[in-house]
Amino acid sequence: MSELFRVEGLTKSFGGLAVSRNISLAMPAGERLALIGPNGAGKTTFVNLVTGQIKPSAGRVVLNGDDVTDLGAVRRVRKGLVRTFQVTRLFSDMTPEEHVTLTVLQREGRASRILSRFTGDSTVADEVHGLLGALGLVEVARRKVGEIAYGQQRLLEIAIALALKPKVLLLDEPAAGVPSSETPRIEQALERLPPSLAVLMIEHDMDLVFRFAKRVVVLAAGEIIFEGLPFEVAANDKVREAYLGNYANARSVA
Ligand SMILES: Nc1ncnc2c1ncn2[C@@H]1O[C@H](COP(=O)(O)OP(=O)(O)OP(=O)(O)O)[C@@H](O)[C@H]1O
């Protein structure tokens, strides 16, 4: 498939610490890419640079042929670059239905009318229902977020991200903090993401990485040290070295 998204020479330092070193990467539509690496490798920083939360000191971010490097995060979202966060950012007193409805209305530029006027809008309601259904959240659609399982909260974040109609979706550890009994639900939801969407997922759970990803990129100390097929990653000496420096247990990349 043809290229949808590309970063070129993305570079960032915090003080004297080089956290992104000349990172270049391209993704076609429909990509399923896992970005892995030891703690502190610069994975979240990479997502922050791509989505405009922070500015690079050098390099470019290109979406659909447009250079978006100078755009802020909100304008990048409108162009289709959407992320989720490592730690949930939801309102515990609101329901999943309200979260997704507000996101759809915001996308449509109608959020100022807020919830009072949307109730009769069956197009919005249908879209919201469809998104919640796709993520398996229909039964909890009208429960307060603070009362639903953490795995469901994480799924809600994906529903919200999808409500923004992304072209490229960056998932920062979608299974982090989720009890193992709930991870199959996350996996199923990831499998059902729209096929044309390009997805980059940061994840430490290697079982999930191997099931999800068609391609794996490994970052260590801000640099790409490996790019290839999932089955190749564990056998790569540079990768083993990078992980073994941080983890006593080689299973992390096995
Ligand atoms: N705003 C910041 N100011 C200074 N240093 C930062 C900032 N953000 C990140 N860092 C540092 O940059 C390095 C990379 O952090 P980052 O969170 O990108 O790594 P990561 O690969 O996502 O790690 P983890 O797997 O633990 O989430 C770390 O050493 C971190 O302390």
Domain ranges of the chain: 3-93+168-253
Cα-to-centroid distance, 44 and ligand 1 (Å): 7
Distance between CA atoms of residues 47 and 200, nearest Å: 9
* Residue 161: per-residue pLDDT: 95
At 197 the three-state DSSP class reads: coil
Q: Using alpha carbons, select from 201, 105, 99, 208 the residue that is nearest to residue 159.
A: 99
Shortest-distance Cα residue to atom 23 of ligand 1 = 40
ipTM above 0.90, yes or no: yes
Helix axes 122-134, 150-163, angle to 10 degrees: 130
**Residue with token string 């659609």:** 141
Sign of the torsion angle spanned by Cα atoms 138, 140, 141, 146:
negative
Q: For ligand 1, say whether the CB of 228 is within 6 Å of any of its atoms.
A: no
Shortest-distance Cα residue to atom 27 of ligand 1 = 39
Cα-to-centroid distance, 118 and ligand 1 (Å): 40
Shortest-distance Cα residue to atom 10 of ligand 1 = 14
CATH of 3-93+168-253, picked from 3.40.50.300, 3.30.70.1350, 3.30.930.10, 3.40.50.2000, is 3.40.50.300
Q: For ligand 1, say whether the CB of 91 is within 6 Å of any of its atoms.
A: no
Distance between CA atoms of residues 151 and 177, nearest Å: 8
* Chain centroid offset of residue 76 CA: 14
* Residue 114: per-residue pLDDT: 58
Q: For ligand 1, say whether the CB of 48 is within 6 Å of any of its atoms.
A: no
Q: For ligand 1, say whether the CB of 40 is within 6 Å of any of its atoms.
A: yes
To test the pocket of ligand 1, the residue of 13, 19, 219, 243 to mutate (highest count of ligand atoms within 8 Å of its CB) is 19
Predicted TM-score (pTM) of this structure: 0.89
Cα-to-centroid distance, 42 and ligand 1 (Å): 5
Cα-to-centroid distance, 40 and ligand 1 (Å): 5
Shortest-distance Cα residue to atom 28 of ligand 1 = 40
Q: Which residues of 220-231 are buried (b: 16+ CB within 10 A; e: fewer)?
A: bbbbbbbeeebe
Name, in order, each residue with C-beta under 8 angstroms of 226's C-beta and a sequence gap of 6 or more: 216, 217, 218, 232, 233, 236, 238, 239
In sequence order, what are the beta bridge partners of 13?
18
To test the pocket of ligand 1, the residue of 10, 20, 23, 45 to mutate (highest count of ligand atoms within 8 Å of its CB) is 45
Kindly report the backbone phi and psi dihedral angles of residue 116, in degrees, each rounded to the nearest multiple of 5, phi listed first. -60, -35
pLDDT tens sequence for the chain (254 residues): 589 999 999 999 998 889 999 999 999 999 999 999 999 999 999 999 999 999 999 999 999 999 999 999 999 999 999 998 877 778 888 999 989 988 888 888 776 565 555 556 678 889 999 999 999 999 999 999 999 999 999 999 999 999 999 999 999 999 999 999 999 999 999 999 999 999 999 998 888 999 999 999 999 999 999 999 998 998 888 998 888 665 434 344 43
* Residue 248: per-residue pLDDT: 36
